Amino acid sequence: MPSDKHSESQYTLYHATLVHTPSLGQIEILPNMLLGVDCNGKIDFMEPFDAHKKSVHGSATSYFRTVMEGDFTFVDYSSSPCSFLFPGFIDTHIHASQYPNVGIGSELPLLDWLKDYTFALESKFCGNSPETLEFAREIYTKVIEKTLTNGTTCASYFTTIGTETTKLFADLLIEKGQRGLVGKVCMNDNPTFPTYEESMEDCLAGMHDLMDHCKTANATVKNKNGLDMVTPIVTPRFAPVCSRELMKELGSLSRECNLPVQTHISENLDEIKWVKSIFPECESYTAVYDTNDLLGPSTILAHAIHLDDQERKIVKERNCSISHCPTSNSFITSGEAPVKEYLYEDKINVSLGTDISGGYEQSILGVAKNSVLVSHHLSMGNEKDQRISVADALYMATMGGAKACNLEGSLGSFEKGKCFDVQLVDVHSVNSNIDVFGFQKPVSGEPDYEKKVSQLIHRWVFSGDDRNCVKVWCNGRLVVDKADPWVYVG
C-alpha cells in the first residue's frame, strides 16, 4: 500500500475505486476515481481519473497545477483490485463504559442483565479521584481505538452519570481522532440499583458542564471545517429510571440548546410492562417520550423492537431515527425488529448500533451482517418477506447513521463538501479471512467488473472483519494505518 502519512495541512488526491450507498437499497460502485480532499478534511471534488493526464512520474502534479496552488499529496490505491474506499461506519448506539463486559451475560434477560452486570460496572466511573479517572481512561481509550480499527469514524455514545469521566471521554475522542456524540447518562430514579443515580439538579448541572467542555475541546481541533468532532447529546437512559420532571427538563434543554437526544425504547416485553405501570396516563412507551418533548428529527431511539402501529406513526411523524441493534437483541433474547417494514412501509430512518455490551460485536460490519441474518430469521414462518439486502445493511451502517445523527449533509457517502471520514477496505489484505482467487479479481474495463466488485462487497460483509479495514481517516486525518506491523496513528 502507498504511504499517505502527509501533513494534515496538505491537499490530498486519492486515486481509487469508491463504493458507497447514497440511497436506500443501492450500492454505487465508482471505479478509477480521483477524489480531492482539502486541508480541512473536506471532499473538494470527485471525478473519473484520466490516466493520460498523469505526469511521467506517476503523480497528478501537471494536471492539478491548474486546479489549486501549492503542494499536495497524491495517493494511489488503484493498483489493488480487491480494495476500495468506503465511508466510515456510524455506530448510533454504543455504551463506552460497558466495554469490559462484552460477551458477558447472555443467560439473562435485559432487566436482570442491567442489575447484575451493567450498573455495578458503570458506577465505577463516578467521581473525579485519580484512580477513577485512570480507570475510565484505560477503558475509554480501548473502546475508541477498537471501534476505530473496525472502521467506525463516528458514534453516538452513552457514558455514565459521571460528569468528570464523561468530559475525559470527550477529550479522548478528539485525541484519538474519532467523531462522537457524547451522552452523559441521565437517570434520577433507579430502583434496581439505588446507589447508581443522581438528582435532577446534578444531572442538569452536569449536562451544562459537558456542553461547555465540548465547546472548549472542539476549539483544539486542527481541521476547521465547521463540523464539531464532539457533540453533547441529551441522554435520558430510558423512561423507567427517569422522573417525569427530569424528562421534561431534558426535553426543554434539547430544544433550547439545539441538542440531539438518544434513549432506549421497546427493547424488551418486561420493560414495556414496567413502563406502562409507571406511566399509566400514557398510551404507549413512545407516548411517554412524546409527552415530554423528547422526540424530534435529532432523536435516536435504540432497539424499537416491539413498536405497535400507533407508535410507528408517532416515530415517523416526529421524524425520529431508530438504531437497530440486531446483535444485542439476539444476545439478550429481546426480539427481532421488523426493520424492512420500518424502512420501506413506515419510511422511518433506521441506522445500526453495536450496543456494546449488550452486543458483543465491536464492529458495525458484524452488526450489518447480523441485521441481514436476523431479517432472514424473521421471514421464516412470516407471510411477509422481511429480508433486507446487503445494500440496505450498508446503507443503515453509513447514510442511515448520518441521518440519525443529523449529519447527512456532512457524512455517510462520497459527495463534494462532505467530510473525509473514510476507510480503506482490502478484501484480500494480509491475513484476511477471505481468500480471493485470480478469476474472482475485478479488472477495470472488463464487462463483469461491477459484478465482481459487488461479489467482493458481499463477501466482505459476511466473511470480513477488522483485518480488511486497512486504513481509517476521520476529518481528513489518518487515524489508523495497519502497516505490517500495523500502527495506531491517532
Residue 4's pLDDT is 57
Q: Is the pTM of this model over 0.85?
A: yes
Residues 6+ apart with CB under 8 A from 471: 1, 4, 423, 424, 478, 480, 481, 482
Residue 59's pLDDT is 45
Identify whether the C-beta of residue 75 lies closer than 8 Å to the C-beta of residue 422.
Answer: no
Write out pLDDT tens, residues 188-231. Answer: 999 999 999 999 999 999 999 999 999 999 999 987 788 999 99
Domains of the chain as residue ranges with CATH: 11-87+413-488 (2.30.40.10), 89-404 (3.20.20.140)
- List the Cα angle 282/404/382 in 5-degree steps: 70
Report d(CA 348, CA 141) in Å as an integer: 34
Residue 111's pLDDT is 85
Identify whether the C-beta of residue 21 lies closer than 8 Å to the C-beta of residue 3.
Answer: no
Each of the 490 residues of the chain gets a pLDDT tens digit; together they read 444 554 455 799 999 999 999 999 999 999 999 999 999 999 999 999 975 455 434 444 444 544 455 578 899 999 899 999 999 999 999 999 999 999 998 888 888 989 999 999 999 999 999 999 999 999 999 999 999 999 999 999 999 999 999 999 999 999 999 999 999 999 999 999 999 999 999 999 999 999 999 999 999 998 778 899 999 999 999 999 999 999 999 999 999 999 999 999 999 999 999 999 999 999 999 999 999 999 999 999 999 999 999 999 999 999 999 999 999 999 999 999 999 999 999 999 999 999 999 999 999 999 999 999 999 999 998 888 999 999 999 999 999 999 999 999 999 999 999 999 999 999 999 899 999 999 999 998 899 999 999 999 999 999 999 999 999 999 999 999 997 544 445 5
